Amino acid sequence: MKHKIIFTLIVCCSLALESTAQVVLQGKIEYTRKMNIHRQFDDMGSDNNSYMEAFIAKIPKFDTRNFALYFNAKYSKYTPIKQEENPMLGMMGGLPGTETQVWNDFTQQKTIAFKKVYEQNFLINDSIRKCTWKILDEVRTIAGFNCRKATTRINDSVVVVAFYTDKIAVSGGPEMFAGLPGMIMELAIPRLYTTWVAQNVTIVNVGEAELTVPEKGKKTNLSEMAKSIKSSTKDWGKFADKSIWWSNL
């Protein structure tokens, strides 16, 4: 009986150490963002425009690009990984969110973000956005981590689906999303036909060089930026709403 108790204690201690060792406190995550460009244009009502149809025929259905998220217990920095642009997409001014940078200070619950919305550059200084997340039972494995599903809404009606892991002990994720009990490893916004999926996690020391704060752009906050974009796109029909949704990610 004594040997059985000792064996049980050893097993429990080993499992506890293993669980502790698996928790990631700092590192780098690479996300792939995949956007259905053709569906974006469909929402602009391009079906009756022969020029637009010809243009769409020359561009790929999907745009895929990569972003990096550097993080530690105090800060995180989400930034694009540079890549060559499709010349055809450059003709339309580029795709939304391709230059977005987001810096979070978890100790002060503060965020600074650079966002380019068409020809306007914004530098947002605000609190880390607080989303009302609903945590669900569905789970999946992403980049080697067990992740649980959660959902929320932005702009009252836009559904956001996330999968997060509590094995990365930082409440962050792609774009400006945070507030879950762990790191967001996958993000989907069906009404924007776009997903972000973590491809790999590298455990490295993250310091000031990786966590530089965005500095360029018109200084504002999320609310004032939304008002500015709404004013600039008021004649764009339903596509105006999508411009605001993209800016609020």
Note whether residue 5 is domain-resident: no
Q: What are phi and psi of 228, to 5 degrees?
A: -65, -45
Note whether residue 99 is domain-resident: yes
Q: Per the structure block, which two tokens stand in for 154? A: 């932005």
CATH number at residue 236: 2.50.20
Which residue, chain included where needed, has tokens 């500015």? 228
What does the pLDDT look like over 177-205, one tens digit per residue? 999 999 999 999 999 999 999 999 999 99
pLDDT at 87: 64
Split into its structural domains, the chain has a count of 1
pLDDT at 2: 45
Q: Fill in the amino acid letter for 133.
A: W
Residues of the domain holding 223? 24-247
Q: Where do the H-state alpha helices sit in 33-174?
A: 37-42, 50-57, 87-91
Note whether residue 183 is domain-resident: yes
Note whether residue 19 is domain-resident: no
The sign of the dihedral angle between the CA atoms of 174, 26, 163, 172 is: negative
Q: Fill in the amino acid letter for 134.
A: K
Note whether residue 111 is domain-resident: yes
For the CA atoms of 46, 49, 52, 54, what is the dihedral angle to 10 degrees? 120
Note whether residue 42 is domain-resident: yes
Instruction: Give the separation between CA 144 and CA 209, rounded to whole angstroms.
Output: 27
Helix axes 222-232, 239-247, angle to 10 degrees: 160
Which residue, chain included where needed, has tokens 């999508």? 242
Per-residue pLDDT of the chain (249 residues; tens, 9 = 90+): 444 444 343 334 333 333 334 799 999 999 999 999 888 777 665 545 676 677 777 788 899 999 999 999 999 999 999 877 766 665 555 688 899 999 999 999 999 999 998 888 999 999 999 999 999 999 999 999 999 999 999 988 999 999 999 999 999 999 999 999 999 999 999 999 999 999 999 999 999 999 999 999 999 999 998 888 888 776 666 667 777 888 888
Closest-CA residue to 78 (of 181, 183, 220): 183
Please give the radius of gyration of the chain, using alpha carbons only, rounded to the nearest integer: 21
Instruction: Give the separation between CA 188 and CA 233, rounded to whole angstroms.
Output: 25
